[in-house]
Amino acid sequence: MTQEMADDKFAMLRQQAETILRGQPADLSDLSPADIQALIHNLQVHQLELELQNEELRRAQLELQAARNRYADLYNFAPVGYFTLDVNGAIVEANLTGATLLNVTRSDLIGAPLARFVAKEDWDKYAVYRVRLGQSEEPQRIEIKLVRQADAPFHAQLEGIAAYDQAGRFTQSRITVGDITERVRAEAMLHESERLARLTEQLRELSARLQSVREEERTRISRAIHDELGQTLTGLKMDVAWLQGHLEPPQPALLAKMQAMSGLIDTTIQTVRRISTELRPGILDLGLVATIEWQLQEFQTRTGIETHLISAPEETTLDDDRSTAVYRIFQEILTNVVRHAEATQVEVTLEETAAFLTLQVRDNGRGITASEIDNPKSIGLLGMQERARLRGGEVHLSGSPGRGTTVTVRLPLTTVNSEQ
């Protein structure tokens, strides 16, 4: 109600009061002048009181109207749709948000059953919800799909409560409707992410198992080649030497052939030893420190790059699996030095604390670039990182152009979950 409307109403009431008074003329003949004066004073006081009361009433009505307007705004523009349904499920009242959610004008909603906007696959679910709503005094919640007019379905959450008359009869239900499509989509993405995380973990476990099996197979083949094939070749060389010593009379051509055979056997023995060592160096059985020292000597002999073992413990407490993993990573680091670093010197530090083993390899080569660090596939970093990560460790590269590259491998001494 506006101020102008309130003033018109008070004017109308005043006219009605004056009409009533004109129909009831007052008899003042028996009153003295003093009594008349007192009466006039009292009338003036009452008139002032009425005016004050009228003003207070007018202010109260304006405040009430403002409150009603605020309520209407809150109701109509709430973030969720409000629907009031009768006992048959028809819409009695709806706010603007609800009409917008369903893409229908409010006037077209009134009298329409809310079930009309429920997706077909959720009809039964909604019917059960309405029965449950009418039988309980507690709020009831459901998540279903609703269909906007001329639009695709959307996920909605309905939360309603029943209303009863004085006789306790169910008369209405008041329901809020919220669009939860984004939440449902986010939950689906989360579930998919969790599924992929589980698959990733399974793949990592499989990768770890494959690496373990591969190393076991390497060890078996290496020992078989070294022991069986190596012994056979050694025996063959001894037989050729025996034949050379028992060839009577001496035959130069045959003797030369036997010497060539002996040389070929020596070459084959060396090849067998090299293959066996590449599969798994037997020195690993003596420990990681001894293996790294041997590998550095072999690397310097083969490449001419100067190597230095700056510091290392007498021995590490790593188990065979972790020792082998560190050795394989170390092999890959040295391979990268030859392929990419253009270095003349390599320094190695091995340190063991109460919980971790740290291997650091530094070269004086051209230095790794930021793009190479960001693209680990280009230098085999991915394989090194995966070996370390499967055992709870990490591999870190640092360096700059012209200042060499440093690779740091950090591995826990005991089993640690790779996700930690």
Query: If you average pLDDT over residues 308-324, what whole number do you get?
Result: 89
At residue 144 the predicted structure's pLDDT band, cuts being 50, 70 and 90, is very high
Higher pLDDT, 317 or 246: 317
Alpha-carbon distances of 377 from 214, 329, 383, rounded to whole Å:
22, 15, 8
| Strand partners for 179 | 156
At residue 418 the predicted structure's pLDDT band, cuts being 50, 70 and 90, is very low
Asked if pLDDT for residue 23 goes beyond 70, the answer is no
Q: Please check whether residue 288 is in contact with residue 327, taking contact to mean a CB–CB distance below 8 angstroms.
A: yes
| Strand partners for 93 | 84
HSE at residue 101, side-chain half, CA atoms within 13 A, is 30
Query: If you average pLDDT over residues 292-299, what whole number do you get?
Result: 92
| Strand partners for 394 | 410
**Between 320-336 and 288-303, two packed helices, what is the crossing angle to 10 degrees?**
20
Closest Cα partner for 372 from 340, 326, 324, 334? Answer: 340
| Strand partners for 157 | 143, 178
Query: If you average pLDDT over residues 311-315, what whole number do you get?
Result: 88
Closest Cα partner for 277 from 291, 262, 296? Answer: 291
Instruction: Please tell me the distance from the alpha carbon of residue 154 to that of residue 118, in angstroms, as a whole number.
Output: 10
The token pair at 168 is 């306790």
What are the tens digits of pLDDT across the range 365-374?
Answer: 999 888 887 7
Asked if pLDDT for residue 26 goes beyond 80, the answer is no
pLDDT attached to residue 16: 62
Query: If you average pLDDT over residues 306-330, what whole number do you get?
Result: 89
Higher pLDDT, 198 or 150: 198
The amino acid sitting at 214 is R
3-state secondary structure of 85: strand
pTM of the model: 0.51
- For 146, other C-beta atoms within 10 Å of its C-beta total 21
pLDDT attached to residue 181: 93
Q: Please check whether residue 142 is in contact with residue 154, taking contact to mean a CB–CB distance below 8 angstroms.
A: no
Helix (H) or strand (E) holding 151: none
| Strand partners for 83 | 94, 175
- For 280, other C-beta atoms within 10 Å of its C-beta total 22
Asked if pLDDT for residue 113 goes beyond 90, the answer is yes
At residue 72 the predicted structure's pLDDT band, cuts being 50, 70 and 90, is low
Burial of 128 (0-12, 13-18, 19+ CB in 10 A): exposed
Asked if pLDDT for residue 14 goes beyond 80, the answer is no
At residue 8 the predicted structure's pLDDT band, cuts being 50, 70 and 90, is low
Asked if pLDDT for residue 385 goes beyond 90, the answer is no
Query: If you average pLDDT over residues 228-237, what whole number do you get?
Result: 80
Query: If you average pLDDT over residues 60-65, what whole number do you get?
Result: 77
Q: Please check whether residue 98 is in contact with residue 117, taking contact to mean a CB–CB distance below 8 angstroms.
A: no
pLDDT attached to residue 178: 93
As a whole number, the mean pLDDT across the chain is: 83
Higher pLDDT, 1 or 57: 57
Higher pLDDT, 265 or 278: 265
Asked if pLDDT for residue 68 goes beyond 80, the answer is no
pLDDT attached to residue 417: 47
| Chain centre to alpha carbon of residue 386 | 21
Question: Please, which residues have CB within 8 angstroms of residue 198's CB and are 6 or more apart in sequence?
Answer: none
Instruction: Please tell me the distance from the alpha carbon of residue 248 to that of residue 255, in angstroms, as a whole number.
Output: 11
The pair phi, psi for residue 308, each rounded to 5°, is -140, 130
Asked if pLDDT for residue 105 goes beyond 70, the answer is yes
Asked if pLDDT for residue 106 goes beyond 70, the answer is yes
Q: Please check whether residue 351 is in contact with residue 313, taking contact to mean a CB–CB distance below 8 angstroms.
A: yes
Higher pLDDT, 247 or 22: 247
Buried b (16+ CB within 10 A) or exposed e, 286-325: ebbbebbbbbbeebeeeeebebeeeebeeebebeebbbbb
pLDDT attached to residue 420: 41
Query: If you average pLDDT over residues 250-275, what whole number do you get?
Result: 83
At residue 15 the predicted structure's pLDDT band, cuts being 50, 70 and 90, is low
Query: If you average pLDDT over residues 169-176, what whole number do you get?
Result: 92
The CA-based diameter of the chain, rounded to the nearest angstrom, is 181
The amino acid sitting at 414 is T
Instruction: Please tell me the distance from the alpha carbon of residue 371 to that of residue 397, in angstroms, as a whole number.
Output: 12
Tokens 């420990």, residue?
Answer: 287
Q: What angle do CA 298, 300, 306 make, to 5 degrees?
A: 150
